[in-house]
A and B are shown apart, each in its own frame.
Chain A
């Protein structure tokens, strides 16, 4: 089936089954590899994108569920309200180690700040709990979100 999707302000047309997860449309068909595959079950958050501003696990979000929603991926993080500040804080505080989960971490963080520009530690834990980092960068993520929100 043909689907039209709006990603980072551009319209794309793809011919896939309706149950195809958005993640694979973004990565394999459209070639935007910044969004990562981690678990396929919405357990790790590596695939987080924004669907109409809401942080969404693209690995379990089917293309037919997306409709004409506006999708934003890590490649367009810098166009979001706190995107550049988050990237800057991530670099200044040297958050990433292997870096593989960081696209998802940043997208979740951007959604948090859009809703809550001055999050407490508890707010951060709540918003970021679904994003797994095996390198253990959590304390720097916490500090970087606060720096970006300041």
Chain B
């Protein structure tokens, strides 16, 4: 999901077209990527910016808001160049239209991989700057003067002389009649001129989140909608065998029982009746071929298959020689569990299948796939699919998959009128697309000075790209599977990295916040710590030695170490752990302070982050993502594991798939390194770094190396 992963650079070609939108003033259409036909009399009513005659500025948000602050950040990009006050604009989620709103890096309309700012940094500023240029030209035309004598500010065009001004709303008709400037004629602001970008601007979506007024997908109630509770086969690939439909229908409020190929849904007037009806239906399942699947077997398979060579992701220097001539060798196996996303808003999707169209109300990270899924199930043409996309109550990658939409549309196909399909928390946790179980074999060696002379890393696990985009596989290497492993930030003269695809039976895998790096950074940063220990070197000093050619990494490490007072003595059974990473286009150093109780309980006291994510958009959002990202990863490091027995997921709700709670939450401190580099992603960076920062702190505290997650407190007892 990163830049390197998908290998496509931001397409610099942009096609601008301004047109008079019927009754709605100025519309600037800026299409991304390859040229699409906008001519031929076609009227394209949506774009990033709409200004009406009353002066209302509406910004259409191409990316989906799921807590990461992208609505505000993208609005800031537009508002900065358009010269309007951020709080004066109206936001509107983009409809499905890849030509207008497709992601320039991912090539689809989707939100993920910490790519939104990286991808839209230039296009959205271009959209704002283009509109500004047109409005200035329009004013100049009205005044019969040279546009160079005018400037825009706060929703007005002024003459520099101060003599005249016109509000944007008064200029839209004239502006819309002007030819759009070519993209090379549009002048973007120099970053030194930014007034809004880089500030901790207030989020635009907060007020509706403190008074209950904001509508998530689960809050959509189209007229006449019935509510469906759904039970999906507890074993992947199973089918409903028997259903007591009569018992379900006897429950007050229950209206209909629907069977699909893999699920049973009970429709009712409200959720409680639907749930009660589903229970009464006493569904029995034909488990199918995966009824024997267990975690123990999956791990055994990984252990064995990881002994065989994988596809080579990178090989430089003579690793074999380095290992043979080493002063000291370190061998280690790291294991990371399946993880559920467990977003707070349970999976849900409201669907109305009509004869000529299918309308959806949902919060999805992946509009393109959602549209296709609905088209596939209904047999309707994709353009007959209408999606009302909502702000998402937590994505974390789960809503990049559209299985929830497929299930809901299958139900809705059999229902007259709209139906809202809601998953229980149990369904949500037991029918995930899980972060893969990874099994990594590491070998390393150091010379007499303690420097690494060999580094060998074999990743084994499920390949997400092999399933969703086989074309992205590179000679058997899943680029996500080795992201963060193939190119550690350190000077390693001999490095050999392999990917061994091992697919678990009966388990679906997919993206989880932090994607490849959330697995590989744990392994790499733990193992570099192991080499530092073998070299009897301080973990920060050791890393600094190996980062002399990587100034941005060195800078964040130095800053984090300074802020964390690295080296200052700590009490017994307390330790500091460090992690450094370059991922998602962002450099991050993190230092965690942890204590380990006599009973093995780990308590993280404080997390210091130093981040260089290039030019910044919203500094407070960066801090918020450092805080939230770190806690999301910390939850998994301390508690997270999905296990299977008899083909069924053993966890079911927040009692046995434990979220971090407030009393366990450390204070996370963020330090941003000023930078003029291109922007990097921040939504997933801290999630990746926190695993090794914490386990390295545990090592510092009690001398035990955590190689299997989640942390097993039994092994840490005094």
B392 interface residue per 8 A CB criterion: yes
- Considering the complex, give the chain B residue whose CB is closest to the CB of A39: B425
Question: Known contacts A98-B394, A99-B393, A135-B67: does B210 contact A91 (CB below 8 Å)?
Answer: yes
Q: Are A136 and B345 in contact (CB under 8 A)?
A: no
Task: List 9 tightest A-B contacts by C-beta distance, closest first.
Answer: A34-B212, A136-B631, A100-B393, A98-B67, A99-B209, A97-B67, A74-B212, A28-B270, A138-B665
Within 8 A of B (CB), among A104-138: 106, 124-126, 128-138
A to B CB contacts below 8 Å, 12 in the list: A34-B212, A41-B654, A41-B655, A73-B212, A74-B212, A75-B212, A87-B211, A96-B209, A97-B624, A131-B662, A134-B635, A138-B661
Asked whether A97 and B68 contact (CB < 8 A) given A20-B272, A41-B425, the answer is yes
* Known A17-B276, A37-B271, A99-B67; contact A129-B661, beta-carbon cutoff 8 A: yes
Q: Using an 8 Å CB-CB cutoff, how does the interface string of B181-218 with A read, 1 for contact, 0 for none?
A: 00000000000000000000011011111111111101
How far, in whole Å, are A77 and B212 apart by their CA atoms in the complex? Answer: 9
Determine the residue in chain A with the shortest Cβ distance to B219.
A33
Q: Which of A17, A43, A141 contacts B654, CB < 8 Å? A: A43
Residue B672, interface by CB 8 Å? no
Decide if A134 touches B343 in the complex (CB within 8 Å).
yes
Known: A24-B272, A43-B654. A136 touches B629 (CB 8 A): yes
Query: Least Cβ distance of A121 to chain B in Å?
Result: 9
Q: Does B450 contact A (CB under 8 A)?
A: no
Given A20-B272, A28-B227, A43-B655, 7 more pairs with CB closer than 8 A: A16-B272, A43-B653, A46-B344, A90-B209, A100-B345, A124-B662, A139-B667
**Contact present for A129 and B272 (CB under 8 Å):** no
For B253, what are the chain A residues with a Cβ–Cβ distance below 8 Å? 16-17
Q: Which residues of B line the A interface, CB within 8 A? A: 66-69, 202-203, 205-216, 218-219, 221, 227, 251-253, 269-273, 275-276, 342-346, 391-396, 422, 424-425, 620, 624, 627-632, 635, 653-655, 659-663, 665-668
Q: How far is the CB of B531 from chain A (nearest CB, A)?
A: 31
On A, residues with C-beta under 8 Å from B are 16-17, 19-21, 23-25, 27-29, 31-41, 43-44, 46, 73-75, 77-78, 86-87, 90-91, 94-103, 106, 124-126, 128-142
CA distance A95 to B627 in the complex (A): 11
CB-based contact B271/A27 at 8 Å: yes
Residues of B within 8 A of A87 (CB): 210-211
Query: Are B425 and A100 in contact, CB atoms less than 8 angstroms apart?
Result: no
Contact B212 A103 (CB under 8 A): yes
Asked if A132 contacts B628 (CB within 8 A), the reply is: no
Q: Quote the shortest CB–CB distance from B571 to chain A (angstroms).
A: 20
Pick the residue among B202, B270, B344, B667 that contacts A98 (CB under 8 A): B344
Query: Would A102 and B425 be within 8 Å (CB), given that A43-B653, A137-B628 are in contact?
Result: no
Contact A125 B393 (CB under 8 A): no
Cβ–Cβ < 8 Å partners of A35 in chain B: 212
Residues in chain B near residue A139, CB distance under 8 A? 627, 665-668
Which of A24, A31, A38, A102 is B210 in contact with, Cβ under 8 Å? A102
B212 adjacent to A98 (CB under 8 Å): no
Does A32 contact B210, Cβ atoms closer than 8 Å?
no
Residues of B within 8 A of A90 (CB): 206, 209-210
Q: How far is the CA of A56 from the CA of B665 in the complex (A)?
A: 23
**What is the chain B residue whose CB lies nearest that of A92?**
B202
CA distance A86 to B216 in the complex (A): 22
Cβ–Cβ < 8 Å partners of B207 in chain A: 91
Interface centre among B209, B215, B218, B668 (most CB of A within 10 A): B209
Bound-state Cα–Cα, A15 to B468, Å: 47
Question: Residues of A contacting B346 with CB < 8 Å?
Answer: 37-38
Assuming the A-B contacts A41-B425, A98-B345, are A138 and B210 also in contact, with contact meaning beta carbons closer than 8 angstroms in the complex?
no
**Which residue of chain B lies nearest to A130 when distances are taken between CB atoms in the complex?**
B661
- A139 → B minimal CB distance (Å): 5
Instruction: Known A31-B221, A98-B393; judge A132-B270 contact (CB<8 A).
Output: no
Please give me the residue from chain A that is nearest to B623 by CB atom: A94
Tell me, rounded to whole Å, the shortest Cβ–Cβ distance linking B686 to chain A: 9
Q: Which residues does chain B contribute within 8 Å of A126, judged by CB atoms?
A: 663
Q: A87-B211, A99-B209 are in contact. Are A24 and B67 (CB under 8 A)?
A: no
**Could you say which residues of chain A place their CB within 8 Å of the CB of B69?**
97
Q: Are B392 and A98 in contact (CB under 8 A)?
A: yes
List the B side residues contacting A86 at CB < 8 Å: 210
Q: Are the C-beta atoms of A138 and B631 separated by less than 8 Å?
A: yes
Tell me the bound Cα distance from A102 to B67 in angstroms. 12
A103: chain B residues within 8 A (beta carbon): 212
Q: Residue B212 contacts which of A32, A39, A138 (CB distance < 8 angstroms)?
A: A32
Query: In the complex, which residues of chain A have a beta carbon less than 8 angstroms from the beta carbon of B214?
Result: 99
Residues of B contacting A124 in the complex (Cβ-Cβ under 8 angstroms)? 662
- Docked complex Cα distance between A142 and B213 (Å): 23
If A134-B394, A136-B632 touch, whether A91 touches B202 (CB-CB below 8 Å) is yes
Inter-chain contacts of B213 with A (CB < 8 A): 34, 75
Closest chain-B Cβ to A127's Cβ sits at a distance in Å of 9
Query: Is the CB–CB distance between B653 and A41 below 8 Å?
Result: yes
The minimal Cβ–Cβ distance linking B347 to chain A, given in whole angstroms, is 11
Instruction: Evaluate whether A134 and B632 lie within 8 angstroms (CB atoms) in the complex, with A39-B654, A98-B393, A100-B394 already known.
Output: yes
| Contact B662–A138 (Cβ < 8 Å) | yes
Q: Which residues of A contact B216 (CB under 8 A)?
A: 100
Chain A, Cβ-Cβ closest to B271: A24
Complex interface: chain B residues within 8 A of A138 (CB)? 631, 660-662, 665
Are B210 and A97 closer than 8 Å at their CB atoms?
no
Assembled-state Cα–Cα distance A17/B627 (Å): 43
Residues of A within 8 A of B631 (CB): 135-136, 138
Closest residue of chain B to A133, judged by CB?
B344
Give the residue name and chain of the B residue nearest to A99 (CB): B209
CA–CA, A128 to B655, complex, Å? Answer: 16
User: Cα distance A90–B393 when bound, in Å?
Assistant: 17
Residues of B close to A141: CB separation below 8 A? 662
Quick one: closest A residue to B667, CB to CB?
A: A139
Known interface pairs A97-B69, A129-B661; A135-B271 also in contact (CB < 8 Å): no
Cross-interface CB contact of B342 among A20, A27, A40, A134, cutoff 8 Å: A134
Assess the A129–B202 pair: CB atoms within 8 A.
Answer: no
- A108–chain B nearest beta-carbon distance, Å: 10
Q: Are A44 and B344 CB-contacts (below 8 A) given A136-B630, A138-B631?
A: yes
Q: Using known A-B contacts A16-B270, A97-B628, determine if residue A132 contacts B210 with beta carbons closer than 8 Å.
A: no
CB-defined contacts of B271 to chain A, threshold 8 Å: 24, 27-28, 37
Q: Given A99-B205, A134-B396, are A78 and B211 also a contact pair (CB < 8 Å)?
A: yes
> What CA separation (Å) do A33 and B346 show in the bound complex?
14
CB-based nearest A residue for B253: A16
- Contact A77:B655 (CB < 8 A) given known A16-B272, A132-B661, A140-B627: no
Looking at B218, B219, B628, B630, which has the most chain A CB atoms within 10 Å of its CB? B628
CB distance from B342 to the nearest CB of A (A): 6
Q: A106-B210, A136-B630, A142-B662 are in contact. Are A40 and B620 (CB under 8 A)?
A: no
How near does chain B come to A70, taking the closest CB pair, in angstroms? 18
CB distance from B655 to the nearest CB of A (A): 6
Complex Cα gap A133–B663 (Å)? 12
Please indicate the chain B residues that have their CB under 8 angstroms from the CB of A16 in the complex: 252-253, 270, 272-273
Interface centre among A34, A124, A134 (most CB of B within 10 A): A134
For the complex, what is the distance from the CA of A97 to the CA of B623, rounded to whole Å? 12
**CB nearest neighbor in B for A91:** B206
> If the complex has contacts A20-B272, A99-B205, A103-B212, are A37 and B218 also in contact, measured as CB distance less than 8 A?
yes
